[in-house]
């Protein structure tokens, strides 16, 4: 009982630290997440506040998934009862993407203290899922995963151009409905810049906001890609 009380006290302190920086995202990143975003990632990050449904497309290896994953981690930390679905063609791909969040949590004493524990006293934190003390959670799924009982408040669907369109529509159906935490449903897609298949449909036929794209020349000029 005393141990449970101590764990609760630590989680309460962590929550107070997070809420202390609730209105200052830059300090939150510096103090709690201990990382910095690139200028274009900050632009995408703030545009996600304005547009609930977005498409982030860029060339490979510039950090488009980082922007979305850090937005989701940030929301999970400061907003209670968030339910995040990280989806990719395979479960391994989804866990690799969500590894962005896991890495930040593992190096942040505040976020580690804020992790919820199960009945056995172990933190709910692993490759495929985690849960914070405020009941916000994140889970990973692939096309073959069973997600029938999981109704997400938000989704990050990566490599959307590699997912069959019928499966893609089935995934979106898991986040329909009212959210008990008062937050709107959010759909955030990411993919490569050439805009084929599902990306073409999202960009040209759906009412989604398309983030300012970043191509290979932008990546080289910004120093984020090697010219070779």
Residue 124, in any domain of the structure: yes
Residue 149, in any domain of the structure: yes
Containing domain of residue 67, as a range?
2-221
Residue 226, in any domain of the structure: no
Domain count, the chain: 1
Provide the strand spans (E) within 74-174: 83-87, 129-131, 137-141, 154-158
The CATH number linked to 64 is 3.40.50.300
Residue 111, in any domain of the structure: yes
Instruction: Count other C-beta atoms under 10 Å from residue 104's C-beta.
Output: 21
Least confident segment among 77-91, 114-128, 213-227: 213-227
Residue 227, in any domain of the structure: no
Residue 146, in any domain of the structure: yes
* 147-171 pLDDT tens trace: 776 778 999 999 887 787 788 777 7
For the chain, what is the mean pLDDT?
A: 85
How confident is the model at residue 42, as a pLDDT? 94
Residue 177: is its pLDDT beyond 70? no
How confident is the model at residue 217, as a pLDDT? 34
93 pLDDT band, cuts 50/70/90, is: very high
Residue 129: is its pLDDT beyond 60? yes
CA gap 136, 11 in Å, rounded: 14
Tell me the mean pLDDT in the region 5-28: 93
């Amino acid at each position: 009982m005393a141990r449970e009380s101590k764990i609760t006290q630590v989680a309460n302190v962590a929550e107070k630290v997070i809420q202390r920086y609730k209105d200052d995202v830059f300090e939150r990143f510096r103090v709690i997440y201990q990382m910095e975003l690139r200028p274009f990632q900050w632009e995408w990050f703030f545009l996600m506040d304005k547009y609930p449904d977005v498409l982030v497309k860029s060339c490979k290896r510039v950090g488009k998934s980082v922007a979305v994953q850090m937005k989701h981690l940030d929301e999970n930390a400061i907003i209670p009862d968030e339910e995040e679905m990280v989806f990719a063609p395979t479960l391994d791909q989804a866990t690799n993407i969500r590894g962005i969040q896991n890495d930040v949590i593992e190096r942040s004493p505040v976020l580690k203290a804020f992790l919820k524990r199960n009945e056995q006293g172990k933190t709910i934190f692993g490759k495929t899922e985690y849960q914070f003390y405020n009941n916000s959670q994140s889970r990973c799924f692939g096309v073959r995963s069973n997600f029938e009982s999981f109704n997400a408040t938000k989704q990050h669907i990566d490599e959307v151009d590699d997912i069959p369109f019928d499966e893609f529509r089935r995934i979106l159906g898991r986040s329909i409905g009212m959210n008990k935490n008062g937050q709107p449903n959010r759909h955030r897609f990411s993919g490569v810049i050439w805009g084929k298949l599902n990306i073409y449909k999202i960009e040209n036929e759906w009412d989604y906001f398309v983030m300012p794209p970043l191509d290979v020349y932008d990546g080289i000029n910004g120093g984020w890609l090697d010219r070779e």
